[in-house]
Amino acid sequence: MGRTAIRGSRIGAGPGGEGERGPSVRRVAVTFWCAIGHSTRPVFAASAEIPAVWDCRDCDRPAGLDPDNPPAQIPIGPFKTHLAYVRERRSDSDAEAILAEALTRLRAAA
């Protein structure tokens, strides 16, 4: 028995083009430059507000609209683990009290 489906299509797929989706919005490509010299060209709707800073797609540094005066690198602190953030919020005495309470509940449940 032969197949009746058209290859490369799916059920419910209609004709491609603007007729079914409506007219497309006019777009503009804007070039942003990072401090290393990479350029990134995101595309925006022509009516959209263009941001002053965009992330570079190559190095994730901030990129600006002026290639001669790119934005400065934002200083980032060292990587912190979950435990480091907990230690910032809790003192050693708080940790001991929480641990004692958890152990009491565990021993009562057993």
54 pairs with which residues across the strands? 63
pLDDT of 1 strictly over 70:
no
Global pTM?
0.53
| Number of other residues whose CB lies within 10 A of the CB of residue 56 | 19
pLDDT at 102: 95
CA 45 – CA 23 distance, rounded (Å): 13
CB neighbour list of residue 38: distance below 8 Å, 6 or more residues apart: 56, 57, 58, 59, 61, 63
- pLDDT per residue over 14-62, tens digit each? 665 556 667 788 999 999 999 999 999 999 999 999 999 999 999 989 9
pLDDT exceeding 90 applies to what percent of the chain? 55
Tokens 């449940």 — which residue? 109
pLDDT at 18: 56
